[in-house]
Structure 1
Amino acid sequence: MSQSYTIRSGDTLGAVARRFNTSVERLAQANRISNPDRILAGQQLVIPDGFDAAPASSSGGSRGYTVQSGDTLSGIAGRFGTTVSALASANGISNPNRIFAGQRLTIPGGAPAQAPSAPPASGGSRSYTVQSGDTLSGIAGRFGTTVSALASANGISNPNRIFAGQRLTIPGGGGGGPVSGPGPVTGPGNEPGTSGGVSLQQLRAIMPNLSVDRAQQLLPHLNSAMREANINTPRRQAAFLAQLAHESAQFRYFEEIASGAAYEGRRDLGNTQPGDGVRFKGRGPIQLTGRSNYRAAGQALGIDLENNPHRAADPDVGFRTAAWFWNSRNLNAYADAGNFDAITYRVNGGYNGKASRDAYYQRALSVLGA
């Protein structure tokens, strides 16, 4: 069943597609739009899809991807639910830190990325040797800790500078180990749906179009970001996951499909330099958009997103920017009060996609027992 939407100033076709769980291609086809970067305020669109749009293919075959400026092999691996080593092997890459824009990669299908194991160490902590392509936030997500805890435990002053072969102490507590496999995260004070995050089963019950492989790859980063932002009760998590499910079409999109040219010259977004519209287009499960927002989120999280904007599309960073956005607008307080409409307004700037968001919210409340 189709619905309609009136374009507002600042809208892009990619953003509208995400609000309504559809794609730019289907929107363009339904509305006979030849150039997805050219839409006008006041234009009436037919929205062909609704809640629970069909998932992307999750077959075990390989796919292709063209490297974009700012991409890293670890970021690409994260987006496609594979590993750096599998990508390097499939493409004959001897140095995972050296890829270039325009390079065509084969994305291998099959097993999801697995969290690395680490031997126990004294005092409840463990150790881990940094691999080529690792980031501190990615390691934190795998082991159920935070970037700040890792940096403190290892005397790291700049979280963006770690090197292959470096031996890290993984601080204990909070969850006991990396999230892997289909089982829920368990342990004292770490029950699924509370301070320890959500389980694989819960996540897929809320987002049924999310494949097992993709869910396993994303779950550590999602739970780590929620812990960091104190999204630590079933009611807060239900509201957060409902908004993310709608905005990203059940974690299908972490980057705006449109070019971002529509944001060029938007001083309200801090886009003051030529090319800023494309450079700082929407990324992450709640889209971070505009130079000023990239700068603010990066400063808060200790990541140079202004000079590395593509990192916002990587799961280890994207979930953290979404959680930063959430806290910057005090949305936990509205979640605690059960005021989901207020959250929708602050996330969307209105109530677009309200029926979809509300449906995800009610489902998440039920799954998490809120």
Structure 2
Amino acid sequence: MAIHTIRRGDTLSALAQKYGTSVSALAKTNNIKNPDLIITGRKLTIPDGFDRPGQRPATAPPGMPGSSSRPGSSTQSPTQAGPVTGPSAPAGNGKGVTMDQLRKIMPNLSQAKAEQYLPHINNAMAEAGITTKNQKAAFLSQLAHESGQLRYMEEIASGSAYEGRRDLGNTQPGDGTRFKGRGPIQLTGRSNYRAAGQALGIDLENNPKRAADPDVGFRTAAWFWKSRGLNSLAESGNFREVTRRINGGYNGLADRQQYYNRALSVL
């Protein structure tokens, strides 16, 4: 069992990625109530089976390669995300977005968060085939609006408003809260968690909180983007329809448009 002393700039998401575990596992092992609040100097216990950075437990099932629609906890252990389909190192092949570009598009995004999220963003764009300026601008601007410039990976509201929403597959008591919006493009509702999980090889239906972890959340965003055919709409410049398919309407269209115009200029 490894021990990690928290340093300035550390986040649970970054540490989970470093040690090949999950945010939920780290939080549970160390009795952390708020994963966004960790204290410099505190010693973290890395869960059994994750003794070295990048090591997965021998019993972990292999991942399968492979969001979101608006309109109680599991007793199963989290399933690790599968590998990203596509280039093995998209962040370095010149087809993604650079750190400088990302922070110009999302000026309130901190350097630490940008460093943490950039590989996941570029992997997601590679997985979804997002390669042109128009496609990248549309994708990044929607992420910026939906997540408050990547500040929120989970919906602030409780999710109780989705209770009983059969159109979202919420048919069991507690489904509204259990399957609230998570990820940079918010995955919402039991049906969407099931569909995204099946596509990515992750049991999100029984482990819904995994959708808020960056290694999964950006992939669900890529899955949603690709499954809804948004690249062709983005390439044609039909940003309004891209917004409608993500939001189910046009909420926040003006804000999304501002990010989009900025992204086009930066890219």
User: Fold match, TM over 0.5?
Assistant: yes
The answer as to whether partners of 1:136 and 1:147 remain within 8 angstroms in 2 is no
Pick the structure with more strand per residue. 1
Distance verdict in 2 for CA 1:109–1:136, change over 3 Å? farther
**Aligned residue number for residue 288 of structure 1:** 187
Q: Give the Cα separation in 2 of the matches to 1:96 and 1:258.
A: 24
**Aligned residue number for residue 279 of structure 1:** 178
CA root-mean-square deviation: 3.5
Give the aligned length. 228
**Aligned residue number for residue 130 of structure 1:** 55
TM-score where L is the length of structure 2? 0.74
Of 113, 132, 137, 1:233 maps to 132
Distance verdict in 2 for CA 1:317–1:331, change over 3 Å? same
Structure 1 spans left out of the alignment, 5+ residues: 1-59, 63-75, 88-94, 111-127, 138-145, 150-158, 163-169, 180-184
| Residues 159-211 of structure 1: CA deviation (Å, up to 9, x unaligned) | 9469xxxxxxx99x9465xx9xxxxx44xxx21xx3xx111111001000000
Q: Give the Cα separation in 1 of the matches to 2:171 and 2:17.
A: 39
Structure 2 spans left out of the alignment, 5+ residues: 1-7, 20-24, 42-52, 67-77
**Aligned residue number for residue 211 of structure 2:** 312
Distance verdict in 2 for CA 1:340–1:292, change over 3 Å? same
- The answer to whether the aligner puts 1:148 opposite 2:74 as a matched pair is no
- The answer to whether the aligner puts 1:248 opposite 2:147 as a matched pair is yes
Q: Percent identity?
A: 60
Q: Give the Cα separation in 2 of the matches to 1:355 and 1:85.
A: 35
Distance verdict in 2 for CA 1:302–1:147, change over 3 Å? closer
How far 1:107 moved relative to its partner? 0.6
Distance verdict in 2 for CA 1:337–1:108, change over 3 Å? same
Correspondence list, 1:173-252, <5 A: 174=87, 185-186=91-92, 190-191=93-94, 194=95, 197-252=96-151
Amino acid at match of 2:15: T
The answer as to whether partners of 1:205 and 1:367 remain within 8 angstroms in 2 is yes
Q: Give the Cα separation in 2 of the matches to 1:355 and 1:281.
A: 25
Q: Give the Cα separation in 1 of the matches to 2:30 and 2:107.
A: 35
Q: Give the Cα separation in 2 of the matches to 1:205 and 1:338.
A: 21
- The answer to whether the aligner puts 1:341 opposite 2:240 as a matched pair is yes
The answer as to whether partners of 1:61 and 1:108 remain within 8 angstroms in 2 is no
How far 1:108 moved relative to its partner? 3.4
Pick the structure with more helix per residue. 2
**Aligned residue number for residue 108 of structure 1:** 39
TM-score where L is the length of structure 1? 0.55
| Residues 5-28 of structure 1: CA deviation (Å, up to 9, x unaligned) | xxxxxxxxxxxxxxxxxxxxxxxx
| Residues 9-55 of structure 1: CA deviation (Å, up to 9, x unaligned) | xxxxxxxxxxxxxxxxxxxxxxxxxxxxxxxxxxxxxxxxxxxxxxx
How far 1:214 moved relative to its partner? 0.5
